[in-house]
């Protein structure tokens, strides 16, 4: 059945009932939900390619405290058996916790300046992503994921998430009509999306894909952010707003369901069978350098 949100598929659930979720977008990109793929088979196919997955994470200021849980839980659930190279962008490399990594997994600290504005930290991620992909990742990795650090892995995250350009459905808006998406609505911003347009609302906490595709995304978003900055305008949800604009005109080839970006404060819903990755509860006023 075709709905404005894509093709509906009857997903069997643990109670033996059925839940309708869209499993393919209107442009035929898969939407990855538990029950729609065979993880062992997919991992076996991709493992033959001897891939390296670069994983960039920002931990600036008090956010270094989130690294330990992030890394420890990633080592339990994230691309197990694959070569994973974490690149930790931080102002305090000495504060990166000593977490034991499995063989074939490495961690490189990347020192960056601190900032007294959290918006500056999230906004500049695109620029830094673009720089590191160009300067070293093209020759060091095959795929990349850029992930928020105030998160934990609770369930398996494997090769089913790989694709040329990978987005995640924001857990707050996957059941919401597009008129309620918190897109940037001021035409003065490069992130502007007019009412009536837009496919989904994507979360900024997970961006993935081939190096070249993510490079193009980061470069474009950085350019759009610079234009906004020159006009002293900051989009409603910083780089997440620009990301949503980018994905409107450059459709993701794979969309991850909210299993891949949940929020700890949200009770599990009937569609979500497995929470794989989730934003932890944090005291914004306490962890951010400014209100
Ligand atoms: C949302 C998005 C986030 C980003 C942000 C933009 C989700 C779940 N999260 O989260 O991806 O788009 O909105 O406003 O979609 N950071 C630091 N130090 C700081 C502040 C931020 O290292 O002082 C880094 C860190 O990696 C963090 C990320 O920036 O995970 C995003 O910042 P946030 O978690 O404070 O943003 P939040 O919760 O508003």
Chain segment 21-42, per-residue pLDDT in tens: 899 999 999 999 999 999 999 9
Q: Is 171 in the pocket of ligand 1 (CB under 6 A)?
A: no
Distance separating alpha carbons of residues 183 and 194, to the nearest angstrom: 9
- The confidence score (pLDDT) of residue 2 equals 45
- The confidence score (pLDDT) of residue 18 equals 55
- Residue to probe by mutation, ligand 1, list 122, 147, 172, 202, most atoms within 8 Å of CB: 122
Q: Return the closest-CA partner of residue 86 out of 26, 153, 165.
A: 153
* Active site members: 240
56 neighbors 23 (Cβ within 8 angstroms): no
Half-sphere exposure of 240 (CA within 13 A, CB side): 19
- Residue to probe by mutation, ligand 1, list 55, 59, 63, most atoms within 8 Å of CB: 63
- The confidence score (pLDDT) of residue 7 equals 62
Average pLDDT over residues 209-228: 97
pLDDT of residue 250 exceeding 60: yes
Question: What percent of the chain clears pLDDT 70, i.e. is strictly above it?
Answer: 93
Q: Is 237 in the pocket of ligand 1 (CB under 6 A)?
A: yes
Q: What is the set of domains in the chain, with CATH numbers?
A: 31-286 (3.90.550.10)
Q: What is the pLDDT of residues 156-186, one digit of tens each?
A: 999 999 999 999 999 999 999 999 999 999 9
- The confidence score (pLDDT) of residue 15 equals 46
Report how far ligand 1's centroid is from the alpha carbon of 286 (Å): 14
pLDDT of residue 14 exceeding 50: no
Q: Return the closest-CA partner of residue 61 out of 244, 245, 231, 290.
A: 290
- The confidence score (pLDDT) of residue 20 equals 79
């Amino acid at each position: 059945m075709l709905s404005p949100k894509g093709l509906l598929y009857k997903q069997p659930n643990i109670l033996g009932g059925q839940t309708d979720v869209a499993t393919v977008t209107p442009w035929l990109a898969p939407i990855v939900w538990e029950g729609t793929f065979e993880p062992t088979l997919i991992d076996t196919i991709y493992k033959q390619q001897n891939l390296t997955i670069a994983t960039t994470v920002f931990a600036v200021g008090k956010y270094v405290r989130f690294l330990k849980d992030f890394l420890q839980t990633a080592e339990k659930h994230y691309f197990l058996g694959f070569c994973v190279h974490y690149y930790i962008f931080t102002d305090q490399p000495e504060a990166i916790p000593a977490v034991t990594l499995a063989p074939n997994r490495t961690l490189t600290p990347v020192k960056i300046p601190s900032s007294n504005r959290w918006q500056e930290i999230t906004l500049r991620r695109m620029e830094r992503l673009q720089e590191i992909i160009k300067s070293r990742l093209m020759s060091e990795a095959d795929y990349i994921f850029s992930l928020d650090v105030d998160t934990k892995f609770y369930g398996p995250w494997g090769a089913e998430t790989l694709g040329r350009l990978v987005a995640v459905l924001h857990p707050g808006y996957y059941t919401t009509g597009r008129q309620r998406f918190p897109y940037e609505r001021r035409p003065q911003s490069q992130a502007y999306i007019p009412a009536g347009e837009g496919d989904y609302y994507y979360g900024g906490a997970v961006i993935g894909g081939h190096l070249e595709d993510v490079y193009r995304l980061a470069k474009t978003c950085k350019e759009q952010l610079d234009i906004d900055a020159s006009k002293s305008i900051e989009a409603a949800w910083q780089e997440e707003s620009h990301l949503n604009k980018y994905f409107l005109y450059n459709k993701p080839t794979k969309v991850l369901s909210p299993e891949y970006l949940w929020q700890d404060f949200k009770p599990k819903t009937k569609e979500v069978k497995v929470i794989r990755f989730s934003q932890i509860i944090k005291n914004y006023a306490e962890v951010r350098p400014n209100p």
